[in-house]
């Protein structure tokens, strides 16, 4: 590349749920941002929750695109502060109550929105709607969003990084933010290693329709083969993350809809009423993959490129968005301070990056520990252990602040 090629302030690789909103916020504060993504086209729209509710039958394609995320109030408020919530709100289902229980034992802990003096405990959004809402807003900003730009390697120089794209082009910037997912090319190209924990579990991802309205309750139920989560969508539809033992995977995969629905109903019980229909199912293995370092010279890893978590309680995205919030705040302070001093702000400043890492470490460790505990400790068939767990849930129900923290954290809605 020609040495006189311009150097942007910030290049972000990955225009999905983490990279795109960060690009938007940084550009709105005056940073010059280039956003690269390997995907070539617009993300095809998916049926809204209301359309799914009305559909007589779910076809495979639309139902499989129904992957959802539970947003904590913190994440929702961040979107709102940055003018993004109005682009998302139309299809977001509020969670009015959280219910955490343990199969086979008495005891459930519940949390109502009114106990938080909030309209909702959190919101369930469809990932595609979320991405499309953010990208539509992005198109009205100064972000230089390049689609079909597959990054193949990264080279470091003292005052910038250079990102090479498969089409032969390249981008130079003073800060590189990797939001390119779990298989991050940026991470690999920089030689940042990963640690991997295999949970010896798989998750069935699907949707169910109920005979009645779910009343906007989100459920996390701990069973001997792992956690089972039901998140409310529009009307009487719920998203399901059903953790199973790997030894069950082949048999569960073979079940027809009626047999799977019966199995699910027996594991979950009737607290949400009767399940009447199940959508297509996708089975994924469950692992935790973490980068050994979140920063390198002039580089930060965010979202799944930094950390892929077990989906229990849907912690991953909310944690990633707290990273986004912290980094954005530090970068915005940097540019504001430098505008006042009329000097040139360096977004890749090593001190800024190391302070960002230090500020985020405690929250990240707590969430990883919490997720690991939930994924592992409720498994097994020991009745004694089971009673202790139920007692813990009952005990929590009696101790209001602890119960609130437990229920919110369990659903990824904490903070």
For residues 373-412, which are near ligand FAD according to CB under 6 A?
412
Q: How far is the CB of 326 from ligand FAD (least distance, A)?
A: 16
19 binds ligand FAD (CB under 6 A): yes
Choice between 286 and 353, CB closer to ligand FAD: 286
Q: How far is the CB of 62 from ligand FAD (least distance, A)?
A: 17
> Where does this chain touch ligand FAD (CB under 6 A) — which range of 3-11, 34-42, 212-220, 379-387?
34-42
272 binds ligand FAD (CB under 6 A): no
The residue within the footprint of ligand FAD, chosen from 52, 70, 98, 190 (CB under 6 A), is 70
Q: How far is the CB of 399 from ligand FAD (least distance, A)?
A: 26
Q: How far is the CB of 398 from ligand FAD (least distance, A)?
A: 28
- Phi, psi angles (nearest 5°) of residue 189: -65, -30
Q: Is residue 111 within 8 Å of residue 29, measured between CB atoms?
A: no
Choice between 348 and 414, CB closer to ligand FAD: 414
The 3 state secondary structure assigned to the chain is CCCCCCEEEEEEECCCCCHHHHHHHHHHCCCCEEEECCCCCCCCCCCCHHHHHHCCCCCHHHHHCCCEEEEEHHHHHHHHHCCCHHHHHHHCEEECEEEEEECCCCCEEEEEHHHHCCCCCEEEEEHHHHHHHHHHHHCCCCCEEECCCCEEEEEECCCCEEEEECCCCEEEEEEEEECCCCCCHHHHHCCCCEEEEEEEEEEEEEEEEECCCCCCEEEEEEECCEEEEEEECCCCEEEEEEEECHHHHHHHHHCCHHHHHHHHHHHHCCCCCCEEEECCCEEEEEEEEEECCCEECCEEECHHHCEECCCHHHCHHHHHHHHHHHHHHHHHHHHHHHHHHCCCCCCCCHHHHHHHHHHHHHHHHHHHHHHHHHHHHCCCCCHHHHHHHHHHHHHHHHCHHHHHHHHHHHCCCCC
**Of 215, 202, 208, 199, whose CA–CA distance to 264 is shortest?**
208
69 binds ligand FAD (CB under 6 A): yes
226 binds ligand FAD (CB under 6 A): no
Q: How far is the CB of 407 from ligand FAD (least distance, A)?
A: 15
The residue within the footprint of ligand FAD, chosen from 9, 37, 220, 325 (CB under 6 A), is 37
Q: Is residue 236 within 8 Å of residue 215, measured between CB atoms?
A: no
49 binds ligand FAD (CB under 6 A): no
> Where does this chain touch ligand FAD (CB under 6 A) — which range of 12-20, 87-95, 187-195, 329-337?
12-20
> Where does this chain touch ligand FAD (CB under 6 A) — which range of 9-17, 267-275, 325-333, 375-383?
9-17
Q: How far is the CB of 156 from ligand FAD (least distance, A)?
A: 17
The residue within the footprint of ligand FAD, chosen from 135, 205, 210, 244 (CB under 6 A), is 205
The residue within the footprint of ligand FAD, chosen from 11, 46, 121, 151 (CB under 6 A), is 151
228 binds ligand FAD (CB under 6 A): no
Q: How far is the CB of 318 from ligand FAD (least distance, A)?
A: 4
Rounded distance between C-alpha atoms, residue 253 and residue 204, angstroms:
9
List Cβ neighbours of 81 (8 Å cut-off, separation of 6 or more).
none
Q: How far is the CB of 284 from ligand FAD (least distance, A)?
A: 6
Rounded distance between C-alpha atoms, residue 201 and residue 316, angstroms:
17
For residues 76-135, which are near ligand FAD according to CB under 6 A?
none
For residues 309-338, which are near ligand FAD according to CB under 6 A?
311, 314-318, 320
> Where does this chain touch ligand FAD (CB under 6 A) — which range of 95-103, 132-140, 180-188, 341-349?
180-188
Q: How far is the CB of 136 from ligand FAD (least distance, A)?
A: 16
Q: How far is the CB of 226 from ligand FAD (least distance, A)?
A: 13
Question: Applying CB under 6 A, which residues contact ligand FAD?
Answer: 13-19, 36-39, 69-70, 150-151, 179-181, 185, 203, 205, 241, 303-304, 311, 314-318, 320, 412
């Amino acid at each position: 590349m020609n040495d006189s090629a311009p150097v942007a302030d910030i290049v972000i690789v990955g225009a999905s749920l983490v990279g795109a909103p960060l690009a938007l916020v940084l550009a709105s504060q005056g940073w010059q941002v280039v956003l690269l993504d390997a995907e070539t086209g617009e993300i095809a729209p998916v049926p809204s929750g209301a359309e799914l509710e009305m559909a007589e039958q779910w076809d495979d394609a639309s139902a499989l695109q129904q992957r959802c995320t539970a947003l904590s109030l913190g994440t929702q408020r961040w979107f709102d502060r940055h003018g993004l919530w109005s682009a998302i709100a139309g299809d977001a289902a509020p969670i009015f109550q959280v219910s955490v229980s343990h199969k086979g034992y008495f005891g459930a802990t519940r949390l109502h929105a009114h106990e938080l003096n909030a309209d909702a405990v959190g919101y369930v959004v469809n990932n595609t709607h979320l991405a499309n809402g953010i990208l539509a807003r992005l198109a009205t900003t100064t972000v230089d969003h390049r689609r079909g730009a597959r990054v193949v390697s990264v080279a470091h120089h003292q005052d910038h990084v250079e990102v090479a794209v498969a089409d032969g082009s390249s981008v130079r910037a003073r800060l590189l933010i990797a939001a390119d997912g779990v298989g991050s090319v940026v991470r690999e190209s920089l030689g940042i290693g990963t640690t991997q924990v295999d949970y010896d579990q798989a998750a069935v991802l699907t949707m169910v329709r109920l005979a009645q309205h779910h009343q906007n309750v989100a459920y996390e139920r701990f069973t001997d083969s792992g956690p089972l989560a039901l998140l409310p969508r529009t009307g009487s539809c719920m998203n399901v993350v059903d953790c199973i033992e790997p030894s069950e995977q082949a048999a569960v995969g073979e079940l027809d809809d009626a047999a799977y629905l019966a199995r699910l109903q027996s594991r979950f019980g009737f607290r949400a009423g009767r399940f009447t229909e199940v959508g297509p199912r996708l089975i994924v293995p469950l692992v935790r993959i973490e980068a050994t370092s979140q920063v390198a010279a002039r580089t930060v890893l965010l979202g799944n490129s930094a950390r892929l978590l077990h989906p229990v309680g849907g912690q991953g995205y909310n944690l990633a968005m707290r990273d986004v919030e912290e980094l954005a705040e530090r970068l915005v302070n940097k540019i504001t301070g430098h505008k006042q001093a009329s000097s040139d702000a360096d977004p890749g400043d090593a001190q800024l990056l190391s302070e960002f890492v230090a500020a985020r470490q405690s929250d990240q460790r707590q969430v990883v520990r919490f997720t690991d505990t939930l994924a592992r400790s409720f498994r097994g068939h020991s009745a004694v252990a089971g009673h202790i767990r139920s007692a813990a849930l009952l005990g929590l129900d009696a101790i209001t602040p602890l119960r609130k923290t437990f229920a919110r954290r369990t659903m990824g809605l904490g903070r």
